Structure 1
Amino acid sequence: MSKVQLNQKEQHYADTREEAEEIVSAAKENDHLQMHKITEKYNKYGQYFLIDLTYAYQTPKEVMESQPQKDNAPEGQMSIDDHEGIEYSVDGDGTVNLPDSQLESDDEEVI
């Protein structure tokens, strides 16, 4: 199973509003930007700005729909393509069926 990044949140610091606006304008170049917010803050050293950026790359629905279908066989039967060796199928009651051409083999020695 592969890991897929769905979203990312970033927080940046700026001393002036102009610097904060530059960070936001650079982030807007990314097509995956969903939300940006500039918050003005104060502490004992003075004023500063926090910039929150949220990116969304894919929705969970897109990720789940992009996974290939593994089995097209009817319920209770295994697909012939699931095995790389001999061809066989398994019925719902657990019975294994082999084609007649594969029941006899001249190449193998039975002990």
Structure 2
Amino acid sequence: MTKVQLNQKEQHYADTREEAEEIISAAKENDNLQMHKITEKYNKYGQYFLIDLTYAYQTPKEVMESRPQNDNVPEGQMSMDDHEGIEYSVDKNGGVSISDGQLELVK
């Protein structure tokens, strides 16, 4: 299973509003920027700004619809995409039966 980054949150610090706006303008160059916010804060040392950035790279739907990568399948073996599966039927008692010839090993 591969890991796919769906979103990322960043928080930056700036001493002046101009610096905060420069950080925002640099972040806007990334097409994946979804949200940005500048928060003005105060403490005993004075005023400062916190910049919150949120990036969204893919939605879970896009990840699930994308074709899985089969780079790790050794040569001579089948991947999960190479066959249609096994046909089976379930009777009223919950028993499962498989058609003849489906459990043969392929060499």
Give unmatched runs, 5+ long, in structure 1: 79-89, 99-111
1:54 lines up with 2:54 in the alignment: yes
Question: In structure 1, what is the equivalent of residue 74 of structure 2?
Answer: none
1:10 lines up with 2:14 in the alignment: no
Question: In structure 1, what is the equivalent of residue 98 of structure 2?
Answer: 94
Cα deviations across residues 26-66 of structure 1 (Å, max 9, x unaligned)? 00000000000000000000000000000000000000111
SS in 2 for 1:62: helix
Q: For this pair of structures, how many residues does the alignment match? A: 85
Provide the aligned C-alpha RMSD in A: 2.4
Question: In structure 2, what is the equivalent of residue 32 of structure 1?
Answer: 32
Q: Identical aligned pairs, as a percentage?
A: 77
Q: Check 1:70–1:96 CA distance in 2 against 1; reply closer, same or farther (3 A cut).
A: same
How far off is 1:19 after superposition? 0.2
Could you tell me the TM-score, scaled by structure 1's length?
0.67
Question: In structure 2, what is the equivalent of residue 67 of structure 1?
Answer: 67
Q: Aligned partners of 2:88, 2:101: CA distance in 1, in Å? A: 8
Give unmatched runs, 5+ long, in structure 2: 69-79, 90-96, 103-107
SS in 1 for 2:98: coil
Question: In structure 2, what is the equivalent of residue 19 of structure 1?
Answer: 19
